[in-house]
Every structure is written in C-alpha cells, then in structure tokens.
Amino acid sequence: MIKRLFEKKPDTPANITGPFGPKYRRYSGAWATLRKRLQADPGLRVVDAGATSPHNINYLTNLGQSIFLCDPVTDALTGDWQIGKDEDDNPIWNVEGYLDHSWQFSGRMFDVVLLWTTLDYLPEAFVVPVVEHLHRATNLGGQVLAFFHAKSKEEQLPYCRFHVTDTDDVEMQQAQPFQTQRTFTNRSIQTLFSKWPGFRQFLAKDGLYEVLITR
C-alpha cells in the first residue's frame, strides 16, 4: 500500500518501480476531457487509485496539482479482510476496516478521482461502500474518471495500471495478476453513481466503457 500526498516539488520521485508488463497506448475520450480541466485549473487535489506511477506523479504535480496515491485493488485482494462466512457459506467482509486502511484521506476533500478499472476487481461487498465514500470525499463539481470492462470472450481480464500522458492517450500496463470480479452494464454503472448528478459516457473500441462522473 502506498498513501501519500505529493505536492509540486523539484525532487518529485521518479524511481518507483513495480511488477509491471509492457505498456501500450489507447485513446481515451474521458482522459482527453479531464486533461483539459487539469491543464487549465491548477491547485486541484487528485486521487490516483492504482499501483504507483512515477509518470502520473510528475505529470500532475508539474501542472500544479496535488496527488494522493492509493492502491485499493491490491489492498482488497491481498489484505486479510474476510472475517468469516454466513450461514449460506458466503464470505463476510470487514468493509469499514478496508475503507479505513485503503481510502483513508484524513479529512481531505478531492476534486478529481482517477478510479480507472478499480470497481471491476473489488469484492462485491466493497463496491457500493467505496462509491459512497468517494461521494463524501469529493468536492461539489469534483469528477471521477472510471473505466469498466464490457463483456468479453474472456471470462476474466488481468488488472492493468494506467499512466496518463500529455496527449489524448493513456498507457495501459499489466500489473498484479488479479482477475475481474464482474462485468457492469451501462445501467448498473448509472445506478451505482445515482447520487452523482453528472454522468458522461465515452465510446471506446477496445472493450472498455469510459465514464466521467461529476459530483
């Protein structure tokens, strides 16, 4: 787990590594839209939910933004959050413990959340509480960028890290060998974010739904 708020500094770290595969670029309409805001409006607080990307840190802090790092998928799937089973043999999860550990913002409020594909990989019990937690921690007018896997011939898809660029592309890179837990539909995504008044979907050709949700 990595949790730290990076401000713009001359010595912003650029040597953090991880167990990643090769990168490949893909066009992202949602990132293209959000990037314009980030370039025009310095001083925003940004959550980047994923394995540490030195490039994301450098890019965002050089724009004058503050970036808070967390790795909620790794925390959820490697942490000891299952505390038992119910009478139907379904797992019982320590949801509050997970939120306190993996999404602990210490009272900070945020303007942008780079959620990426996080919700596709979390245990079911964590999904709604995470979205509600982000709603409480996001300022009015704040935005969440989220990707969701559409149905695929493959039942499960490996977990990727996303790296922003100064173009309309993002870079994807396989990270931990986690697999998707579910597939969301357009309707279920809208229902999940029903408390958020702004919802914009972007078409993608590679099996990902892209959405930009506004608080």
Residue pLDDT, tens place only, 28-55? 999 999 999 999 999 999 999 988 899 9
Q: Is residue 188 predicted with pLDDT exceeding 90?
A: yes
Question: What amino acid occupies position 28?
Answer: S
Quick one: angle between helices 124-137 and 95-102, nearest 10? 50
pLDDT of residue 31: 97
Among 69, 55, 171, residue whose Cα is nearest residue 114: 69
Residue pLDDT, tens place only, 55-90? 999 999 999 999 999 999 999 999 899 999 988 888
Residue pLDDT, tens place only, 195-211? 999 999 998 777 788 99
* Residue whose token pair is 């979205």: 131
Q: Which CATH number fits the domain that encloses residue 86? A: 3.40.50.150
Q: What percent of the chain has pLDDT over 70?
A: 88
pLDDT of residue 21: 74
Q: How far apart are CA 42 and CA 51, in angstroms?
A: 24
Query: How many domains in the chain?
Result: 1
Domain presence at residue 186: yes
Domain presence at residue 5: no
Domain that holds residue 102: 20-214
Domain presence at residue 2: no
Domain presence at residue 8: no
CB 20 within 8 A of CB 55: no
- Mean pLDDT on 134-157: 85
Q: Is residue 10 predicted with pLDDT exceeding 50?
A: no
Domain presence at residue 108: yes
Among 103, 47, 52, 113, residue whose Cα is nearest residue 75: 103
163 strand-pairing partners: 171
Domain presence at residue 198: yes
Joined together, the tokens standing for residue 160 give 């990727």
Joined together, the tokens standing for residue 42 give 């310095």
Q: How far apart are CA 184 and CA 62, in angstroms?
A: 35
pLDDT of residue 175: 85
* Residue whose token pair is 């009478």: 87
Q: For residue 170, what are the contacts with CB-CB under 8 A and spacing of at least 6?
A: 25, 26, 28, 31, 162, 163, 164
Q: How far apart are CA 93 and CA 48, in angstroms?
A: 24
Among 69, 120, 117, 76, residue whose Cα is nearest residue 97: 76
- pLDDT confidence band for 194 (50 / 70 / 90): very high
Q: How far apart are CA 105 and CA 133, in angstroms?
A: 10
Domain presence at residue 12: no
pLDDT of residue 148: 93
- Enter the pTM of the model: 0.89
More confident residue, 158 or 26: 26
